[in-house]
């Protein structure tokens, strides 16, 4: 039988890379890979890939299942990240859109995408090896066992690099973002594996931008604003959706309905106009993703970590309303550009 896949150990956000002496026993620093968390169980016959949300990923990545079966030298339970690189060698970066498209109900499309946008696995922890349960061992020992187990394995299985030097980790923060990574993780060397507990530290890029309110979705409870859809203007004057702001309190959701009412676009009969929203492939089937359209007249400042293509990579956080800003001035030009960096160089 495969190993029992536990809930993953989590990380709490901190504003900057912590020093070695921040925790007893010191820290190990590693790049923060931006993909699907994957806990891989290989018992010598069967492979299972579990996600952070307990949804199995096994059927969506047949090329990884084949690679684990063929390459892993002995039964083990790995923790890591499933990512999809795109681009030519020497100029590759992680591609979130291609990764999310891998979650598809049709087996034929799964097989096609496994060929056209193959994934790779970045291992960063080892929870079991053979009959030995390593979860209660300190991370320093688990890391040593991981390197010993996977040393020399070819693509698509990789072991993430680490450093004990905080200054090197700070350099990675700046350089590796150009390859699609989104920060650094600091792991206490002396701590055991703690499922579902935030005992690690994550340091992510945080920037601000002024964006235009384009519409809102009703909260899943059916009452109040669940998320506010925001956009930016391109050089041709078109307003493009770039993400959503959510995490409002119950009281604030109700207040926003009244505040935004004067901006709601209506038809000739006074009914609110709606549009089709974008839905995650992990969303529940049948979930309504439509939104109420707003006239693009109100500006807000948001915090974001990185841009991917035309959109913010993650949900953005509300900072403040900006009544002093002209919506037309909310363009892509205000966003910080990031120098390109090759995924392969991160793996070296």
Tokens of 131: 């009959």
Active-site residue set: 32
CB 136 within 8 A of CB 128: no
Q: For residues 200 and 13, what is the distance between their CA atoms, to the nearest angstrom?
A: 9
Query: Alpha helix (H) ranges present in 48-91?
Result: 62-71
Closest among 118, 134, 96, 124 to 186, alpha carbons compared: 124
Tokens of 304: 């974001």
Q: Which residues contact 240 (CB under 8 A, 6 or more apart)?
A: 231, 232, 233, 234, 310
Q: Which long-range contacts (CB under 8 A, 24 or more apart) does 226-230 make?
A: 226/253, 227/315, 228/256, 228/300, 228/318, 229/277, 229/291, 230/300, 230/302, 230/316
Beta-bridge partners for 169: none
Q: For residues 344 and 248, what is the distance between their CA atoms, to the nearest angstrom?
A: 40
Start-to-end CA distance of the chain, whole Å, equals: 35
């Amino acid at each position: 039988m495969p190993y029992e896949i536990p809930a993953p150990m989590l990380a709490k956000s901190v504003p900057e890379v912590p020093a070695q002496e921040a925790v007893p026993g010191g820290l190990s620093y590693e790049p923060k890979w931006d993909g699907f968390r994957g806990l891989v169980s290989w018992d010598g016959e069967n492979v299972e890939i579990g996600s952070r949300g307990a949804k199995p990923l096994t059927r969506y990545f047949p090329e990884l299942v084949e690679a684990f079966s063929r390459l892993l030298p002995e039964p083990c339970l790995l923790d890591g990240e499933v990512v999809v690189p795109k681009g030519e060698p020497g100029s590759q970066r992680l591609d979130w859109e291609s990764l999310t498209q891998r979650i598809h109900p049709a087996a034929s499309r799964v097989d096609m995408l496994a060929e056209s946008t193959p994934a790779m696995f970045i291992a960063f922890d080892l929870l079991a090896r053979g009959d030995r349960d390593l979860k209660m061992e300190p991370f320093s020992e688990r890391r040593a066992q991981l390197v010993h187990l996977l040393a020399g394995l070819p693509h698509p299985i990789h072991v993430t690099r680490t450093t004990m030097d905080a200054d090197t980790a700070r350099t990675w923060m700046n350089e590796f973002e150009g390859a699609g990574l989104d920060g650094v993780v600091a792991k206490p060397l002396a701590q055991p594996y703690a499922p579902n507990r935030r005992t690690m530290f994550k340091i992510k890029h945080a920037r601000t931008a002024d964006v235009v309110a384009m519409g809102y979705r009703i909260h899943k409870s059916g009452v109040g604003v669940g998320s506010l859809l925001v956009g930016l203007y391109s050089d041709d004057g078109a307003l493009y959706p770039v993400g959503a702001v959510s995490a409002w309190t119950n009281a604030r959701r109700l207040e926003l309905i009244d505040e935004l009412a004067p901006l709601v676009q209506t038809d000739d009969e006074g009914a609110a106009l709606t549009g089709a929203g974008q839905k995650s492939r992990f969303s529940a089937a049948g979930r309504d993703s439509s939104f109420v359209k707003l006239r693009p007249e109100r500006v807000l400042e948001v915090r974001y970590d990185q841009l991917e293509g035309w959109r913010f990579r993650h949900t953005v956080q509300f900072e403040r309303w900006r009544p002093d800003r002209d919506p037309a001035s909310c363009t892509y030009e205000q966003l910080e550009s990031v120098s390109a960096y090759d995924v392969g160089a991160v793996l070296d």
